Amino acid sequence: MTAPVQAAPEGSATTDSALVLEVRGLSKSFTVGSIGRRRRVRALNGVDLRLERGEVLGLVGESGSGKTTFARALAFLDSPTGGEIWLEGVRQPLQPTPRDLHRYRSRVQMIFQDPYASLDRLHTVYRTLSQPLRSFRIAPASQTRAACAELLESVGLVPATDFLDRYPHELSGGQRQRVGIARALAARPALILADEPTSMLDVSIRLTIMNLLLDLQQGRALSLIFITHDLAGANYVSDRIAILYAGHLLEIGPASALMHDPYHPYTQLLRKAAPDPQGGFRRGERFDASGEPPDLTELAPGCPFVPRCPQARAACHPHLPAWRELGGQHRVRCVLYD
Amino acid sequence: MSLLLEIAGLTVGYGAGPTAVLAVQDVDLAVHTGEVVGIAGESGCGKSTLALAATGLLDPPGRVLQGGVRYAGQDLLRLPPAALRHVRLRQIAMVFQASMNVLNPVLRIRDQFLDAMQAHGITSRREAVERTQAVFELVKVPARFLDAYPHQLSGGMRQRTVIALSLVLEPRLIFMDEPTTALDVVVQRAILQSVNDLRVQRDFAVVFITHDLSLLIEIADRIAIMYAGYLVEEASGPELYQQPLHPYTQALMQAFPPLGAVRSRLQGIPGQPPDLRQLPPGCPFAARCGKVRQGTCDTVRPAMTIVTPGHRVACHLYPVSTEGGKQA
């Protein structure tokens, strides 16, 4: 990575008590391939983010953009290979001990994409929910059942007694995802990472799950990172939106600014590609979507979007563009706005 | 535009006897040459079963209990297997969501195309190769991928390859069941655009099945909405967009967060589709409907009624006219 890249876009103080999370230069690479053909996949490259208490950040990107890698690195499911993670003003070790992890996970919880795979099919709902309650000492043993029931009610599974002793296969996809949300809430975290929590659900159920997340987030002053490839969904739930491409953040700003006035050519492409039923019939509208996200083992030094960018020029190639301030917390990383 | 496929009074069940689940009930649907018909509905509404039954691909325990499917005048469901196989792919092709499972993982893409054509009577290797290259160009997959194995292709590329395979014998009708659901928005959009371009060039009809009504609004000439096995509304794309009549259709239209407008809370559709094993006696949507009329909706199953020419709906809010319910 070349020099101008890492100029932290958001200053460097972390003592701000309103900040729940600050991530600086977060990177994650994997080694793939068999002996003799090993290659590095740089899935996440120097991501900087700050999240305030009670804020919802939408992280938007296509498959392979690194958005799930980001969530898993942030949840220490896969340890990051570089950068800093500060949680509530405390810097976290990148190689945490089990004890560090336990403390961290009492504050940061995750909701997974696939409600069919993320619940243990041999565990009842009660068992799934009681585990974090016990592990994080949220409720004494005598009150675990009542606490589980309360969690179920908070995610709209009522009457809770109908659900406590059920197994995942007895639940619909939407109900399973609600159990997944209840499990994340059980630890009473400050921050929830929701990785595509609605993408496996029917369109008709997505909105109710997004509404539930918003209700919970507002009622509990939770911070939420909502990871998705759906720009409209991100706009619906988020205060701010960040655009991730090939492991790099390309644009970040208030949701309304990104939707109404996207600056980066990639954000503009995403905006145009999103179905927009309220926008009426667009059958005649042409749309240039040539190319696919780049091979992360062979990333050139410049802007990662160059091979697909209709406005690419010489200045895009030598190194990653620096962040440009557009005002009102809106920033973009593109040479067009020098 | 002439009539290509006609589904009439089709009822499909899984299992037999009193425990049978009716996945599709009394569905009428017509597809004309060169048009895009969209079918939208939630998981379990019967849309995929309808597609399987209409293409003669339904496996036991699924069974067509009533009604029929006519393709270009012949009764598809009573064709002998050999004749049906001839119609499939040559005349009617299918594209499914899980494209990974359609392609043979141990054969190069090129060989799969040649096999398919050989099985359908194109014995000249030269013609087969030319056709393969032509469809690859159409779906915008570089020809070098012909020598690749399926796992070497990205998801979008694979889906394009499957679409290319469905086109190679120049069918007149293609069923696409959630062909882009597993893909990213940008790739999805690009594929839809290619399909539409191809349709114009090659003049085939498409039945496009999805749970995402917002896609259909952009691509379909006509849209049919299914719920709990029933077809509850059908209209032209623009008409359905501007004037959805069934409360379920209206709720589906409201279920998308808008891209541009000022943000406000939207309501999803409360509740869940009914259990098909215990379908309530009245309208299947009654339990979730904001406009439900107790005493009618929960007891009497609404009949399909034509509201304006080309727009029909099965809902008690729109009483059956005395003119009778002939389809336009």
- The pLDDT, as a whole number, for residue B269 is 83
How confident is residue A333, by pLDDT bands cut at 50, 70 and 90?
very high
- Strand ranges (E), chain A: 19-32, 39-52, 56-60, 82-87, 90-92, 108-111, 191-195, 223-228, 240-245, 248-254, 324-327, 330-332
A172 contacts chain B (CB < 8 A): yes
Backbone angles phi, psi at B80, to 5 degrees: -65, 150
Over the stretch B233-283, which tens digit does the pLDDT of each residue have? 999 998 998 899 999 999 988 888 877 666 678 887 888 888 888 888 899
DSSP states along B122-188: ---HHHHHHHHHHHHHHTT--GGGGGS-GGGS-HHHHHHHHHHHHHTT--SEEEEESTTTTS-HHHH
Over the stretch B144-189, which tens digit does the pLDDT of each residue have? 888 888 888 877 788 888 888 888 888 899 999 888 776 777 777 8
The two three-digit tokens of residue B117, written as one number: 């054509």
Over the stretch A93-125, which tens digit does the pLDDT of each residue have? 999 999 999 999 999 999 998 888 889 989 999
CA distance B220 to B199: 12
Residue A126: how many CB atoms within 10 A of its CB?
A: 18
Among candidates B156, B215, B266 on the partner chain, residue whose Cβ is nearest the Cβ of A207: B266
Over the stretch B212-222, which tens digit does the pLDDT of each residue have? 888 888 789 99
Over the stretch A239-296, which tens digit does the pLDDT of each residue have? 999 999 999 999 999 999 999 899 999 999 888 888 776 665 555 566 666 666 777 7
How confident is residue A4, by pLDDT bands cut at 50, 70 and 90?
very low
The two three-digit tokens of residue A337, written as one number: 């706005």
- The residue ranking higher by pLDDT, B117 or B328, is B117
Using DSSP's 3-state secondary structure scheme, residue A225 falls into strand
Contact B214 A276 (CB under 8 A): yes
Using DSSP's 3-state secondary structure scheme, residue B39 falls into strand
The two three-digit tokens of residue B156, written as one number: 């979008």
- The pLDDT, as a whole number, for residue B18 is 75
CA distances from B151 to A131, B94, B222 (A): 39, 21, 36
How confident is residue A158, by pLDDT bands cut at 50, 70 and 90?
confident
Whether A120 contacts A132, CB under 8 Å? no
Residue B297 has pLDDT above 90, yes or no: yes
CA distance A31 to A116: 29
- The pLDDT, as a whole number, for residue A32 is 77
Whether A225 contacts A242, CB under 8 Å? no
Over the stretch B78-89, which tens digit does the pLDDT of each residue have? 888 888 888 887
Percent of chain B with pLDDT over 70: 95
Query: What H or E segment, with its residue span, contains residue B205?
Result: strand B205-210
Please state, rounded to an integer, the average pLDDT across all residues of chain A.
87
Contact B214 A211 (CB under 8 A): no
DSSP-H helix ranges across B176-281: 185-202, 213-219, 237-242, 247-253
A residues 116-145 closer than 8 Å to B (CB): none
Contact B267 A207 (CB under 8 A): yes
What's the order of all strands across the beta sheet hosting B74-75?
B21-32, B3-14, B62-71, B74-75
A279 contacts chain B (CB < 8 A): yes
Whether A273 contacts A283, CB under 8 Å? no
Whether A53 contacts A18, CB under 8 Å? yes
CA distance B318 to B315: 6
Over the stretch A127-142, which tens digit does the pLDDT of each residue have? 999 999 999 999 888 9
- The pLDDT, as a whole number, for residue A31 is 82
Q: Over the Cα atoms of chain A, what is R_g?
A: 21
- The answer to which of A225-229, B130-134, B321-325 has the lowest mean pLDDT is B321-325
How confident is residue A8, by pLDDT bands cut at 50, 70 and 90?
very low
Bridge partners (DSSP) listed for residue A331: A252, A325
Q: Which of A199, A202, A244 to mutate to test the interface with B (most CBs of B within 10 A)?
A: A202
Bridge partners (DSSP) listed for residue B5: B31, B71
Residue type, A256: S
Please tell me which residue of chain A has the smallest CA distance to B248.
Answer: A204
- Name the minimum distance, in Å, from the CA of B321 to any CA of chain A: 31
- The pLDDT, as a whole number, for residue A181 is 95
- Residue A263, C-beta contacts closer than 8 angstroms, at least 6 positions apart: A251, A326, A330, A332, A334, A336, A337
Residue B327 has pLDDT above 60, yes or no: no
Over the stretch A309-331, which tens digit does the pLDDT of each residue have? 989 999 999 999 999 999 889 99
Residue A9 has pLDDT above 60, yes or no: no
Over the stretch B34-88, which tens digit does the pLDDT of each residue have? 999 999 988 889 998 999 999 888 888 889 999 999 998 889 888 888 888 888 8
Residue type, B328: A
Query: What H or E segment, with its residue span, contains residue B311?
Result: strand B311-313
Residue B229 has pLDDT above 70, yes or no: yes
CA torsion angle A38 A40 A41 A45 (round to 10): 180
How confident is residue A11, by pLDDT bands cut at 50, 70 and 90?
very low
- Residue A139, C-beta contacts closer than 8 angstroms, at least 6 positions apart: A133, A146, A147
- The pLDDT, as a whole number, for residue A184 is 95
What's the order of all strands across the beta sheet hosting A82-87?
A39-52, A19-32, A82-87, A90-92
Contact B185 A276 (CB under 8 A): no
Residues of A with CB below 8 A from B212's CB? Answer: 203, 275
Residues of B with CB below 8 A from A230's CB? Answer: 185
Contact A283 B219 (CB under 8 A): yes
How confident is residue B321, by pLDDT bands cut at 50, 70 and 90?
low
Bridge partners (DSSP) listed for residue B247: none
Residues of A with CB below 8 A from B263's CB? Answer: 235-236, 255-256
Task: Identify the CA nearest to A324 among candidates A314, A316, A334.
Answer: A334
Contact A206 B215 (CB under 8 A): no
Task: Identify the CA nearest to B188 among candidates B223, B166, B216.
Answer: B216
Whether B13 contacts B21, CB under 8 Å? yes
Percent of chain A with pLDDT over 90: 62
Among candidates A63, A229, A278 on the partner chain, residue whose Cβ is nearest the Cβ of B258: A278
Backbone angles phi, psi at B63, to 5 degrees: -150, 135
- The answer to which of A31-40, A79-88, B124-133 has the lowest mean pLDDT is A31-40
Over the stretch A163-211, which tens digit does the pLDDT of each residue have? 999 999 999 888 999 999 999 999 999 999 999 998 888 877 888 899 9
Q: Over the Cα atoms of chain B, what is R_g?
A: 21
What's the order of all strands across the beta sheet hosting A330-332?
A108-111, A191-195, A223-228, A56-60, A240-245, A248-254, A330-332, A324-327
Work out the angle at residue A212's Cα, subtended by the Cα atoms of residues A210 and A214, and round it to the nearest 5 degrees: 70
Contact A277 B213 (CB under 8 A): yes
- The pLDDT, as a whole number, for residue A168 is 92
Among candidates A62, A236, A281 on the partner chain, residue whose Cβ is nearest the Cβ of B184: A62
Residues of A with CB below 8 A from B188's CB? Answer: 273
Residues of B with CB below 8 A from A172's CB? Answer: 272
